[in-house]
Amino acid sequence: MTRFIYIADTHLGASGPGFQQQQRYPERVAEILPALRAVICEGEIDFVLHGGDMVDGPAESVVRAAAGHFDLPVPTYLCLGNHDLSWPDSLERWMRCAPDFFPDGRPEFSITTDDCIIHVVPNQWGSTPYHWVHLDREWFTDEQMSFLSNGLEIRPDLPHILSTHSPVFGVPVEQTGLPKPFHPPKDAFRDCVTGLATQHKHLRCVLGAHVHMNSRVSHAGVEYVHVSPVTETPFEYKIFEIESGTISMQTLTLADALPFKGDYDDSRTYVQGRPIDRAFESS
């Protein structure tokens, strides 16, 4: 069995409210991550996958601090998000200051276990690859598409998972009660990813972040999953288990293990998701 923790949008180094769905506490990461460390030590976790926006901006001191905070008992892998790439030389900073997050020495890589293959491919945001200035459009470079296409040809007998930062589907109105899906991507990006899933039936799950909510959309036999930040109340994370072709997920909280109590907005409970957003099993 392969078991890993999935988190995202920790925004280390942030000051002020910024974008959040519930109250965020990135400044208290030194109190939050020890609780996650305890989960790892108790739960036979193989690795942690961070879905992006580990930092609020990639100042070298913040990147080095993030590498220190995520020096956990198991490997931590990072799918770079838009805030991680907000300076022109962001990618070089990550590779130089936190290389252990990228096992192949590049931002695209695959994690291969006996039970599954996870392809980590951070999407682009604007005209310059690996540099986010503003939210323009989500896309993959030709090199990234080649990496994905080649990776998806390997071991089609195993379930494959794609991790990127942008959501592939907006958070549905059935969850939020809003008049339209929350933060959907451009149609071209959605069609790109769903097209890959159509071509490669063993691509069974796509992990996204960015929206700061727990959410799940099932489309054509593929599970599209978002996670709320472990640094926002109620400090949630996901555990994935893959065994014998079955993928299961559950959403858990660190709240009871923390030395402080976070503020919670009871009018926005949809952020935590419905039961179908918080757990599933697919075989």
Residue 154 has a CB neighbour count (10 Å cut-off) of: 12
Query: How does pLDDT run across 66-121, given as a tens digit for each residue?
Result: 999 999 999 999 999 999 999 999 999 999 999 999 998 999 999 999 999 999 99
Strand partners, 112: 117
Q: Dihedral sign for Cα 40, 96, 18, 273, please.
A: negative
Report d(CA 170, CA 186) in Å as an integer. 10
Query: How does pLDDT run across 3-25, given as a tens digit for each residue?
Result: 999 999 999 999 888 999 999 99
CB 10 within 8 A of CB 26: yes
CB 167 within 8 A of CB 184: yes
Q: How many domains does the chain have?
A: 1
Report d(CA 213, CA 22) in Å as an integer. 9
Q: Does 234 sit behind a cis peptide bond, omega within 30 degrees of 0 on the bond before it?
A: yes
- CATH classification of the domain holding 213: 3.60.21.10
Q: Which domain holds residue 230?
A: 2-282
pTM over 0.85: yes
